[in-house]
Amino acid sequence: MGAEADGQEPKSSPHSPPEVRLLPWTGAEGKPCYLITDEHAGPVSRLADTTESVQLGMGRELLAHADDILPDAPRGELRFLAECLTGALRDALRVADSRGRRLKQLS
């Protein structure tokens, strides 16, 4: 399953290097969660793939909504929108970081 870390990426075994994946959610106190596995299509990997897809889709929808309301939005709505966009950007950057790490592991 996912393992929490204090900002340190888990180390792989010298015998058979497993995949280390940054998961699209955090653990206690906002600490990153990692999945260490040799199975690329396991249930936690599939859940992470689905979660990433949902997060990116929600970000796209939020951006489209922002484009629609920005010209005439009242101040309170702008603050709420900024908070939502910040969360969506955080999710997208976590997905990008995770996928970038996995690409490096393949090379």
Task: For residues 61-82, give the mean pLDDT.
Answer: 89
Above 70 in pLDDT, residue 11?
A: no
How far is the C-alpha of 85 from the C-alpha of 17, rounded, in Å? 37
Average pLDDT along the chain: 82
pTM above 0.95, yes or no: no
Q: What gap in Å lies between CA 54 and CA 59, rounded to an integer? A: 9
d(CA 54, CA 7): 25
Distance in angstroms (rounded) separating the CA atoms of residues 24 and 21: 9
Q: What tens digit of pLDDT does each residue of 17-43 get?
A: 677 889 999 998 989 999 998 777 889
Q: What is the pLDDT of residue 17?
A: 67
pLDDT at 10 over 70: no
With 60 as the cut, is the pLDDT of residue 14 above it? no
Query: Are 95 and 56 spatial neighbours (Cβ–Cβ below 8 Å)?
Result: yes
Is 80 exceeded by the pLDDT of residue 4? no
Taking residue 33's Cβ as centre, other Cβ atoms within 10 Å add up to 19
Q: pLDDT confidence of 9, banded at 50, 70, 90?
A: very low
